A and B are shown apart, each in its own frame.
Chain A
Amino acid sequence: MSVQAQLTKGKITLRGSARIVTEFFMYGINSILFQRGIYPIEDFEVKKKYGLDIWVSSDVSVKKYLSKIMESVEEWLAASKINKLVLAVNSRETRETLERWQFDIQLVDEEEKEGEKPKPPKSEKALQLEIQAIFRQIAASVSFLPIIEEKCTFNILVYADSDAEVPTTWTDSDPLHIKNAEQVRLRSFSTDAHRVEAMVAYRRDPDLC
Chain B
Amino acid sequence: MLPSAGPGKKRGATPAAASSQALQPQFTRNPSANALPPSTVIRSRFRSIAERPPTLIGARGSKRYMLDDSPSAATDRAPWSLSLETPIRASSAHTSAVPLVDTLMRPQRLFPTLSPLSDAKTSLLASAKNSDRSPARSILDSAHKESENIGRLESLKRAAEKAKFELRQVELARERDREEAQRAHQRLESELLAQTKRVEKLERDRKWLFEQEERLAEQRRAVERDLSAQRSAYESRIDEMAAANRELEQQLDDASHAMRRLKSDHLDQIDDMQIRLSRAERIATQLQASEKSDALRSRGDFSDTSSLQYTIDSLKREVQSKDQDIDELKHRLKSTMPSGENCSGAADAAVIPSRERIAQLERDLHEQCDYIKAVEQQNHQLRSETRRLAEAASLYEKEHEISCSLQAKVERLEKQQTGYADMEARLTALHQEREQWTRVFHDSDSDNSDTNPQGQNLCSPFAVAKTVATQRHTIKLLEGKLQSMQESEAATMQQQQKATNDVQSYKQKCLRLESQLSAEKTKTFQLEASKQHAVREAEFLRAQLHSYDREEASFMPGNYDEQKADRIKQLEEFIDEQRAWIVSLESSTGDIRPISADGAETVSTSLLQGYREDAEAKQHELDSLHEEHWRLQERFDKLEKETARLEHQVGSGLGYNPKTTRILQLIDNPSAQDFAIRSEKLKSLAAENEALLERIRQLERSNPAQSLSLQDASQEDAVAGDASSPYFHTIDNLRTENQELAHQLEASVKLINRYKKAWKRKVSELREVIYAILGYRVDFLVNGSVRFTSTYAADLDQSFVFTSGDDDQGVMQLSGGGSKAYLKGLSNDIRYWVQERGSIPGFMATITLQSFEAQLDQKAQ
Chain A interface residues toward B at CB < 8 A:
40-43, 61-62, 65, 68-69, 83-84, 86, 88, 90, 92, 95, 97, 100, 102, 153-162, 164, 166, 169-179, 181, 183, 185, 199, 201
A201 to B647, CA, bound (A): 11
Q: Which of A154, A174, A175, A178 has the most CB of B within 10 A?
A: A175
Contact with A along B653-673 (1 / 0, CB 8 A): 110100111111111111110
A153-B671 contact given A40-B747, A158-B664, A175-B654, CB 8 Å threshold = yes
A46 to B816, CA, bound (A): 45
**B707-762: which have CB < 8 Å to A?**
747, 750-751, 753-754
Q: For B668, list chain A residues within 8 Å (CB).
A: 65, 169
A-B residue pairs in contact (CB < 8 Å), sample of 22: A40-B751, A42-B753, A65-B668, A65-B669, A95-B671, A100-B652, A102-B651, A102-B653, A154-B670, A154-B671, A155-B670, A155-B672, A158-B665, A159-B656, A159-B662, A160-B661, A164-B662, A171-B665, A175-B653, A178-B652, A178-B653, A199-B651
A151 to B206, CA, bound (A): 34
A42 to B749, CA, bound (A): 10
Verify B754–A175 contact, CB threshold 8 A.
no
Contact with A along B640-654 (1 / 0, CB 8 A): 000000011011111
Give the residue of A41, A154, A158 whose beta carbon is less than 8 angstroms from that of B754: A41
A61 to B671, CA, bound (A): 13
**Distance from A167 Cβ to chain B, minimum over Cβ atoms (Å):** 9
A170-B664 contact given A42-B747, A156-B669, CB 8 Å threshold = yes
Cβ of B548 under 8 Å from chain A: no
A169 to B664, CA, bound (A): 10
Verify B666–A68 contact, CB threshold 8 A.
yes
A166-B662 contact given A92-B678, A153-B670, A183-B651, CB 8 Å threshold = yes
Q: For A181, list chain B residues within 8 Å (CB).
A: 648, 651-652
Give the residue of B660, B665, B753 whose beta carbon is less than 8 angstroms from that of A156: B665
Give the residue of A42, A153, A159 whose beta carbon is less than 8 angstroms from that of B661: A159
Give the residue of A92, A166, A201 whose beta carbon is less than 8 angstroms from that of B651: A201
**Distance from B651 Cβ to chain A, minimum over Cβ atoms (Å):** 4
**Distance from A209 Cβ to chain B, minimum over Cβ atoms (Å):** 10
**B668-701: which have CB < 8 Å to A?**
668-672, 674-675, 678
Verify B667–A170 contact, CB threshold 8 A.
yes
A174 to B650, CA, bound (A): 14
Q: For A102, list chain B residues within 8 Å (CB).
A: 650-651, 653
- Chain A to chain B: the 6 pairs with minimum beta-carbon distance, closest first: A177-B653, A175-B653, A183-B651, A173-B665, A42-B750, A181-B652
**B10-53: which have CB < 8 Å to A?**
none
A83 to B672, CA, bound (A): 24
Closest to A40 in B: B747
A173-B652 contact given A42-B750, A153-B670, CB 8 Å threshold = no
Closest to B670 in A: A153
Q: For B671, list chain A residues within 8 Å (CB).
A: 88, 90, 95, 153-155
Seed contacts A171-B664, A201-B652; 14 additional CB < 8 Å A-B pairs: A92-B678, A100-B653, A156-B666, A157-B664, A158-B663, A160-B664, A161-B661, A172-B662, A172-B665, A173-B663, A175-B654, A177-B654, A178-B653, A201-B653
Verify A162–B669 contact, CB threshold 8 A.
no
Verify B659–A65 contact, CB threshold 8 A.
no
A169 to B754, CA, bound (A): 36
Q: For B678, list chain A residues within 8 Å (CB).
A: 92
Q: For A176, list chain B residues within 8 Å (CB).
A: 653
Closest to A181 in B: B652
Verify B666–A162 contact, CB threshold 8 A.
no
Q: For B652, list chain A residues within 8 Å (CB).
A: 100, 177-179, 181, 183, 201
**Distance from A90 Cβ to chain B, minimum over Cβ atoms (Å):** 5
Give the residue of B667, B670, B672 whose beta carbon is less than 8 angstroms from that of A169: B667
A65 to B669, CA, bound (A): 7
Q: For A41, list chain B residues within 8 Å (CB).
A: 754
Give the residue of B656, B659, B663, B670 whose beta carbon is less than 8 angstroms from that of A172: B663
Verify B750–A161 contact, CB threshold 8 A.
no
Q: For B672, list chain A residues within 8 Å (CB).
A: 155
A76 to B818, CA, bound (A): 71
Q: For A185, list chain B residues within 8 Å (CB).
A: 647
Verify A92–B660 contact, CB threshold 8 A.
no
Q: For B670, list chain A residues within 8 Å (CB).
A: 61-62, 65, 153-155
**Distance from B266 Cβ to chain A, minimum over Cβ atoms (Å):** 64
Q: For B662, list chain A residues within 8 Å (CB).
A: 159-162, 164, 166, 172
Verify A175–B664 contact, CB threshold 8 A.
no
Q: Which of B664, B665, B672, B675 has the most CB of A within 10 A?
A: B664
Q: For B659, list chain A residues within 8 Å (CB).
A: 162
A100 to B648, CA, bound (A): 12
**Distance from A159 Cβ to chain B, minimum over Cβ atoms (Å):** 5
A174-B663 contact given A42-B754, A86-B653, A155-B671, CB 8 Å threshold = yes
Verify A69–B653 contact, CB threshold 8 A.
no
**Distance from A68 Cβ to chain B, minimum over Cβ atoms (Å):** 6
Verify A95–B675 contact, CB threshold 8 A.
yes
A157-B747 contact given A41-B754, A90-B671, CB 8 Å threshold = no
**Distance from B428 Cβ to chain A, minimum over Cβ atoms (Å):** 11
A175 to B664, CA, bound (A): 9
A162 to B678, CA, bound (A): 33
A154 to B648, CA, bound (A): 21
A179 to B653, CA, bound (A): 10
**Distance from A147 Cβ to chain B, minimum over Cβ atoms (Å):** 20
**Distance from A162 Cβ to chain B, minimum over Cβ atoms (Å):** 5
Q: For A43, list chain B residues within 8 Å (CB).
A: 750
Q: For A173, list chain B residues within 8 Å (CB).
A: 663-665
A167 to B154, CA, bound (A): 98
Verify A170–B653 contact, CB threshold 8 A.
no
Verify A42–B751 contact, CB threshold 8 A.
yes
Closest to A155 in B: B671
A170 to B659, CA, bound (A): 18
A201 to B649, CA, bound (A): 10
**Distance from A89 Cβ to chain B, minimum over Cβ atoms (Å):** 9
A177 to B651, CA, bound (A): 8
Q: For B650, list chain A residues within 8 Å (CB).
A: 102
Q: For B651, list chain A residues within 8 Å (CB).
A: 100, 102, 181, 183, 199, 201
**Distance from B770 Cβ to chain A, minimum over Cβ atoms (Å):** 27
A92-B751 contact given A166-B664, A173-B665, A201-B653, CB 8 Å threshold = no
A15 to B477, CA, bound (A): 34
Q: For A61, list chain B residues within 8 Å (CB).
A: 670
Q: For A42, list chain B residues within 8 Å (CB).
A: 747, 750-751, 753-754
**B475-533: which have CB < 8 Å to A?**
none
A134 to B744, CA, bound (A): 34
A158 to B667, CA, bound (A): 12
A83 to B750, CA, bound (A): 39
**B185-204: which have CB < 8 Å to A?**
none
Q: For B753, list chain A residues within 8 Å (CB).
A: 42
Q: For A160, list chain B residues within 8 Å (CB).
A: 661-662, 664
A155 to B659, CA, bound (A): 23
Contact with A along B578-604 (1 / 0, CB 8 A): 000000000000000000000000000
Verify A161–B653 contact, CB threshold 8 A.
no
Q: Which of A42, A166, A174 has the most CB of B within 10 A?
A: A42
A92 to B663, CA, bound (A): 21
Closest to B652 in A: A181
Verify B663–A175 contact, CB threshold 8 A.
yes
Q: For A199, list chain B residues within 8 Å (CB).
A: 651
Q: For A179, list chain B residues within 8 Å (CB).
A: 652
Verify B667–A171 contact, CB threshold 8 A.
yes
Q: Which of A102, A157, A173 has the most CB of B within 10 A?
A: A173
Q: For A201, list chain B residues within 8 Å (CB).
A: 651-653
Closest to B750 in A: A42
A170 to B665, CA, bound (A): 6
**Distance from A8 Cβ to chain B, minimum over Cβ atoms (Å):** 34
Q: For B751, list chain A residues within 8 Å (CB).
A: 40, 42
A154 to B675, CA, bound (A): 11
